[in-house]
Amino acid sequence: MAAPKSTEFSPNFVITPAIANALMHIEAVKQSIQGLPITPRVLANLRETARLFSTHYSTMIEGNRLTQEQVAQVIADGQHFPGRERDQDEVKGYYAALDEVERLAKQGGPLTESAVRRLHGLVMSVGKARARATPYRDGQNVIRDSRSRGIVYMPPEAKNVPALMSQLVHWINQKDELPVPIKAAIAHYQFATIHPYYDGNGRTARLLTTLILHLGGYGLKGLYALEEYYARNLQDYYEALTIEPSHNYYMGRAAADITKWVLYFVAGMAASFQKVETQARGEAEKGGVDQSKALRNLNARQRKVLGLFTQSRELTSKEIGNLFNFKPRTAADLCQRWVEDGFLEMSNASRKSRRYRLTAAYEALVMDGHP
């Protein structure tokens, strides 16, 4: 097949009344949530739950056999499940990639191909934090039916992948009138269509979607997990992605009308946002105070450790290190840096029983949002 002639990516879809209604719902809920109290307790618990849900459901879609509880144990405690080493590596890799999404979102745009390749590298990195960005595939791959082994989809040839990915990233970064949720939906679909890697395409597509939403102002403080929506409606997810005729990139898929997929995606966003609003509104009724501005000064690990301090005012470096599966020396060094940064202070300086607590400014944040 010849390489794509056009240097522009031009998706084919229509904003139907149903899509427009979903977009309005998303905007209404987004505005409502911004005015509701998001307390440290909510952020510590719901945000981490959303990340674990994202990890569990995104890997489950690809056949990961760990339960939701086991995923939490692998991430939080480094627990080992014999015979499930590959599954453990997958969830560690995806969780590390979510950290990278958060870092990239905080850094701001534009999106780069190297960022996409790094996300894929983390997905396939067996949980190593220093994963290398991975190059695109250098050969043909196919998607087969798991039961019949028949070909479901034939992606573009490897020689065309770099140009197609360049077009996609350029399109994502364009300043236009297209609503961010629709742009994210289309990017997800097109990434899956290009299928730039032999493996890990679905997980990377979902991470790319999350990054686009965060960069576009739809991060919702990290409290939602679109992956949960996909997994709970898995047949609908696959059917929405399967646009006929779509068995071959060059014979229908590239120019297909993807309105059905866009509707599925924005409906999922609306449902996920609504769930967060319900939880946040429940917090508002308890009289919580919004502390989200103060929390923006904390990095991902500091925000995560706040959850531990809601359970105990003093912690050892080992207890903090266990949260990140760190070795004792690494945990001790982390705590020392946090003392120097004014995040922690030593409550007991004895080497044998050294303990840490939050400094006054941050201790106020874990008191259920009340000053």
What are 288-334's pLDDT values in tens digits?
555 666 666 788 788 888 878 887 888 999 999 988 888 889 999 99
Q: Measured between alpha carbons, how far is 144 from 193 in angstroms, rounded to an integer? A: 14
Looking at the domain covering 17-284, what would its CATH class be? mainly alpha
Q: Measured between alpha carbons, how far is 13 from 80 in angstroms, rounded to an integer? A: 46
Contact between residue 61 and residue 201 where contact means Cβ atoms under 8 Å apart: no
User: E strands of 98-209, at which residues?
Assistant: 143-144, 151-153
Tell me which DSSP letter residue 134 carries: P
> Quick check: 159 pLDDT over 90?
yes
Q: Which residues contact 137 (CB under 8 A, 6 or more apart)?
A: 158, 161, 195, 196, 197, 198
Closest-CA residue to 206 (of 298, 326, 123): 123
The DSSP element (H or E) to which 344 belongs, if any, is strand 344-348
Adjacent-strand bridge partners of 12: 257
Q: Measured between alpha carbons, how far is 114 from 195 in angstroms, rounded to an integer? A: 16
Q: Measured between alpha carbons, how far is 41 from 366 in angstroms, rounded to an integer? A: 6
> Judging by DSSP bridges, how do beta strands 344-348 and 143-144 pair with one another?
unpaired
| Amino acid type, 45 | N
Average model confidence (pLDDT) across the chain: 85
- Domain residue spans in the chain? 17-284, 297-366
Q: What is the pTM of this model?
A: 0.77
End-to-end CA distance of the chain: 65
Using alpha carbons, list the distances in angstroms from residue 87 to 11, 58, 94, 282, 323.
Answer: 35, 12, 11, 35, 20
What are 205-237's pLDDT values in tens digits?
999 999 999 999 998 878 888 998 998 888 888
What are 250's two structure tokens? Answer: 């060059």
**129 vs 352, more confident:** 352
What are 362's two structure tokens? Answer: 């941050």
Fold of 297-366: Arc Repressor Mutant, subunit A (1.10.10)
